[in-house]
Amino acid sequence: MAIHFLLSSKAKTLSLKAIYAGGEDKAYGTFCKLRWADTDGEAVCPRCGTLGAYAMKTRRRFKCSACSHQFSVTSGTIFANRKMSFTDLLAAICIVTNGAKGVSALQLSRDLGCNFKTAWVFSHKLREAMAAETKSHNLEGDIEIDGCYFGGHVRPENRKEDRKDRRLAEHQTGKRRVVVAMRQRRGRTLTGVFKSEDDSVGMIQERVRAGSLILADEAASWDVLHGWYTAKRINHSLAFSDDGACTNQAESFFSRLRRMVGGQHHKVSGQYLHQYAAHAAWLEDHRREDNGMLVRRALGLSLSHPVSRQWKGYWQRAQLM
């Protein structure tokens, strides 16, 4: 009997043991190779684009031979001003991408023996870089669309006579958000976070090409999509799949996201929900790649992503607030 891909040795091409046994020089080499993939790891000046920078070996910095600009392998990227060593960064990416439903910052800080704040900001930077992979990607073909609500839980009162009708708007927290997923069959998964499914229609129009087939459930929010697309609807109270009409792939994305939020992070703020959704979509779309490939992909995305406006100096700013 054929074993599942994830159980086979082909799925496991990188381990923490290998990263730490390789040491700092080898990890640094991996960073250079992925930052300057087009020149096979040879440094390119980020200011003037000149090749052949002088390597200041002891400090792992470069000096451009043309404009004298000094830079490092992470300058201008999301890992600029890194505090972590190259091996720790590589190990952190490995731990996070190995987690099929992500890894909490607290757990990561325990595994690496680093500060919680470091692990928290690192994880968010990595998610931002992962999300950028599909930033300018649009979908076409058969697209499953669905929404799933998160947050805004109101704990019921202890005594029955004190309990309120939590379905009424005045008894809710206003923090409830819906993640809307658009998943192309044999393609990518794109996500967005909204107050209601109705609000997501603009994103769908923007990201799903005309002429596509939309597959969605009977929720009234999707009725308007019939104006732009061919749409097949499935009434989930009658069947989950009917003549090819189903949202099973969108559902399996939500299954991963619910387990990520409930099982790893326990509580996520609506402010960051879009990043967790993008992380789950990335894992879903690359679920059949070996873990060495996932680490190279995530590192490559991080090194081609500019400094994060949201996460650069996050804790310094947090202290000032």
Binding residues for Zn ion, per CB under 5 A?
45, 47-48, 50, 64, 66-67, 69
Check if the beta carbon of residue 36 is closer than 8 Å to that of residue 44.
yes
Give Cβ neighbours of residue 169 (< 8 Å, ≥ 6 apart). Answer: none
- Closest approach, Cβ 52 to Zn ion, in A, equals 10
- Closest approach, Cβ 65 to Zn ion, in A, equals 8
- Closest approach, Cβ 320 to Zn ion, in A, equals 34
Pair of tokens at residue 137: 């990607």
Looking at beta carbons only, is 27 or 64 nearer to Zn ion? 64
> What angle, 0 to 180 degrees and rounded to 10, lies between the N-to-C axes of helices 273-285 and 116-132?
60
- Closest approach, Cβ 53 to Zn ion, in A, equals 7
Looking at beta carbons only, is 54 or 116 nearer to Zn ion? 54
Looking at beta carbons only, is 64 or 180 nearer to Zn ion? 64
- 205-237: burial string, b at 16+ Cβ within 10 Å, e else: eebbeeebbbbbbeeebbeebeeebebbbbeee
Q: How far is CA 308 from the centre of its chain?
A: 14
- Closest approach, Cβ 264 to Zn ion, in A, equals 43
Looking at beta carbons only, is 46 or 99 nearer to Zn ion? 46
Neighbours of 270 (CB within 10 A): 16
- Closest approach, Cβ 183 to Zn ion, in A, equals 43
Looking at beta carbons only, is 61 or 69 nearer to Zn ion? 69
Looking at beta carbons only, is 63 or 176 nearer to Zn ion? 63
- Closest approach, Cβ 306 to Zn ion, in A, equals 18
DSSP codes of every residue in 115-141: -HHHHHHHHHHHHHHHHHTTTT--B-S
Cα 242 to Cα 105, 115, 229, 234, 239: the distances in Å are 41, 51, 19, 7, 7
Check if the beta carbon of residue 190 is closer than 8 Å to that of residue 182.
yes
Please give the single-letter amino acid code of residue 313: G
Looking at beta carbons only, is 45 or 129 nearer to Zn ion? 45
DSSP state at residue 2: P
- Closest approach, Cβ 35 to Zn ion, in A, equals 15
- Three-class DSSP labels, 221-256: HHHHHHHCCEEEEECCCCCCEECCEECHHHHHHHHH
Looking at beta carbons only, is 47 or 232 nearer to Zn ion? 47
Pair of tokens at residue 231: 């749409």
Neighbours of 312 (CB within 10 A): 15
